[in-house]
Copies of this chain bind each other. A is one copy, B any other.
Amino acid sequence: MQQLKKTALIREAGRAFKTKGFHNTSLDEVAEALNVTKAALYYYVKGKRELLFETQMLVLEMGDAALEEGQHGKTGLEKLERTIGRFIVLMARDFISHSFVSTLDDMLPEHQDIIRKRRRAFDLRIREFVQDGINDGSIAPCEPKLAVAWLMGSINWIPNWFNPEGEYGPEAIAEVFVNFISHGLAAGSAKVRGRPRKSSSEAT
């Protein structure tokens, strides 16, 4: 029950941040939107920056749930399709409308580290699916690192334009995006690989 309340709080905070901007929204206003006192709010979170951290953790948990679903795919491409589709639906249904693109700079340093590590872990799992697909022939040879940077970018950008009252619902967007991304990666046409400038350094 307490967890439920906290999730509701995080969503409301995300909504307020999205509407007015993180730096233009006070914790008082979040409390007001939730119809609770600021003291009640402090029972759950230490401050605005922690709330921001919690919104990102919620998205990362959706990512993990999507990976779980993705694992049941038969080929690498199918794993990827399932993961992406599920992730978009989860985010759009539950969260994207209240989400916003935020910078890590606005979080506390210890939270920045946690988010960075979890984002990287998620990224590496998606790269594995791409590599699986290259190995099993479902995905055309490519640089998994760039492929994931490319496909996750389009997904991460959704909160910037998604309108929960708009023409396209979460399922329709997921279907269309999975289709574009899948055709972009699928084997069957010659692909140009990224040509590294040097072999020793990291792109991301």
Contact = CB atoms under 8 A, between A and B. Distances in A.
Contacts of A198: 167
Contact of A166 (B20, B147, B203): B203
4 tightest A-B CB contacts, nearest first:
A21-B105, A153-B157, A184-B184, A153-B154
A192 to B, nearest CB: 5
Contact of A142 (B176, B184, B196): B176
Nearest to A188: B189
Contacts of A169: 197
Interface string A153-188: 111111011110111110011011101110111100
A158 B163 contact: no
Interface string A97-110: 00011010110000
Interface in A109-135: none
A82 B143 CA distance: 22
Interface residues of A, number: 59
Identical chains in the assembly: 2
Contacts of A195: 168, 172, 175
A165 B192 CA distance: 22
Nearest to A143: B176
B105 A20 contact: yes
A92 to B, nearest CB: 12
A42 interface: no
A20 B153 CA distance: 22
Given A101-B103, A150-B180, A163-B202, 17 more contacts: A23-B105, A23-B106, A149-B158, A150-B154, A153-B157, A153-B158, A156-B157, A167-B198, A168-B197, A168-B203, A172-B195, A175-B192, A175-B194, A175-B195, A176-B194, A180-B185, A181-B184
Contact of A106 (B21, B154, B163): B21
A166 B103 contact: no
